Amino acid sequence: MTSRRAVAPDFGPLAETYNHLRPADANWEEVADVLVREGDLATRRVLDIGCGTGRFASRLAERHRARVWGVDASPEMLQVARRDGSRSVGFKFGRAEALPFKDGWFERATMWLVLHLVDRPRALAEARRVLSPGGRLAIATFDPSYFDAFWLNELFPSLEAIDRARFPDRTQLAGELEHAGFGDIRLTMLHQRGRLDRDQALQKVRGRFISTLRLLDDGEFGAGLERAESELPEVIDYAVEWIIAAASPPPPS
């Protein structure tokens, strides 16, 4: 269990289907809007850390006139981003723990569903390094309460424990930001509702649409998929609990 919690999955096999399995629906748009507001991202020079297929980076450039770079550790995800994303965004290969940019190069940095995939102390320290004085880091991550009644829990017995070990709660996140040298930490809670029909849910499960499913061994995943195919209801109503964090490096002394 420890190794599965510590190692990020390979997103390569998911790259071509990621945007289909996890569409930019109304909930996605709401998170994007809150990040833009809390991070003061419009018209800024922004680094999107863990940009994946480049959807948010492209939105920032096209809708909010930001000057954006996206960085990701998956060559396959970057290939999709360069093919389908905004031509005004620069996409670069790199890890959150060793960003390939100079000190103080960006006014803003973002991390949307990235914290659970990285070495957080190193990644947060790197985000601080590349931010200019007066900069700001904006984060979107799941609050662990999201996993209390996650609709996949009963199908995959290991899922909840893995996710709870990967995602920080509010107190932990604030402490980690402070330890990385950030101040003016502001945490905003966002509650959302969602609905899936059975076919949508099965398509997501079969595609291992979340990273946690890719950390399960084949035996557990196969057994859970069989249960999903026989037990999922026609309609699944669910809740999503987010932490939206904004924090800034201290001003120069």
User: Tokens 């899936």 map to which residue?
Assistant: 196
Q: How much of the chain exceeds pLDDT 90, in percent?
A: 93
Residue 228 included in any domain: no
Is there a domain that residue 224 lies in? no
Question: Pairing state of beta strands 183-197 and 131-142?
Answer: unpaired
pLDDT at 20 over 60: yes
pLDDT for the residue 7: 56
Bridge pairing between strands 235-248 and 131-142? antiparallel
In-domain check, residue 109? yes
Q: What is the pLDDT of residue 87?
A: 97
- Burial of 109-133, coded b for 16+ CB within 10 Å and e otherwise, reads bbbbbbbbbbebeebbebbbbbbee
For 37, the domain range is 2-147+167-196+240-248
Q: At what angle do helices 26-39 and 55-64 cross, to 10 degrees?
A: 60
Q: What would the mean pLDDT of 59-71 be, rounded to a whole number? A: 98
With a CB cutoff of 8 Å and minimum separation 6, the contacts of 240 are 27, 142, 146, 191, 192, 193, 194
The whole-number pLDDT of residue 2 equals 33
Q: Is residue 160 part of a domain?
A: no
Q: What is the pLDDT of residue 153?
A: 95
Taken in order 172, 178, 182, 188, the sign of the CA dihedral is: positive
CB 190 within 8 A of CB 244: yes
253 band by pLDDT with thresholds 50, 70 and 90:
low
Residue-wise pLDDT for 212-240, tens only, equals: 999 999 999 999 999 999 999 999 999 99
Name the phi and psi angles at 224, rounded to 5: -65, -40
Interatomic CA distance for residues 52 and 73, integer angstroms: 8
**Listed residue (176, 182, 167) closest to 243, CA to CA:** 167
- In a domain, residue 130? The reply is yes
Q: Which residue has the tokens 């995959």?
A: 156
* DSSP letters for 187-227: EEEEEEEEEEEHHHHHHHHHTT-SGGGGGS-HHHHHHHHHH
**pLDDT tens for residues 152-174?**
999 999 999 999 999 999 999 99
What's the number of domains the chain is made of? 1
- The CATH number of whichever domain residue 183 belongs to comes to 3.40.50.150
Q: Tell whether 219 is covered by a domain.
A: no
Q: Per the domain annotation, does 15 fall within a domain? A: yes
Indicate if the pLDDT at residue 4 is higher than 80: no
Residue 17 lies in a domain: yes
